[in-house]
């Protein structure tokens, strides 16, 4: 597991743009009115990294299972994934 995280805070008009990437490669961007609020959000977002990763893994597993079921039912053909 990667342990590197990335935070970039830049001023954008009257706000501070916050770019965040966690050790799983998840990314988000928000705008906050102050640097302390930007840091507060960054801390909150990083604290949720494990939960977010688990949720993403569960979602990926569900999509793979839906594809498997669709394939067995003959719904999947060519590049069409049947998930519309």
- Domain spans of the chain, in order of start: 6-72
pLDDT at 66: 87
pLDDT at 72: 83
Residue 15 and residue 32 in contact, taking contact as beta carbons nearer than 8 Å: yes
pLDDT at 33: 97
pLDDT at 39: 93
C-alpha to C-alpha distance for 57 and 49, rounded to whole angstroms: 12
Checking if the pLDDT of 82 tops 80, the result is no
Quick count: other Cβ atoms within 10 Å of Cβ 21? 17
Strands (E), the chain: 6-12, 15-21, 27-32
pLDDT digits (tens, 9 = 90+) for 2-39: 567 899 999 999 999 999 999 999 999 999 999 999 99
pTM of the model: 0.68
pLDDT at 68: 87
- DSSP conformation class of 20: E
């Amino acid at each position: 597991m990667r342990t590197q995280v990335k935070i970039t805070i830049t001023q954008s008009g009257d706000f501070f743009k916050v770019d965040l990437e966690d050790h799983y490669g998840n990314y988000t961007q928000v705008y906050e009115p102050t640097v302390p609020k930007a840091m507060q959000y960054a801390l909150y977002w990083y604290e949720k990294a494990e939960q977010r990763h688990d949720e993403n893994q569960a979602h990926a597993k569900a999509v793979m299972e839906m594809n498997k079921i669709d394939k067995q039912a003959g719904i999947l053909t060519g590049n069409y994934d049947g998930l519309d």
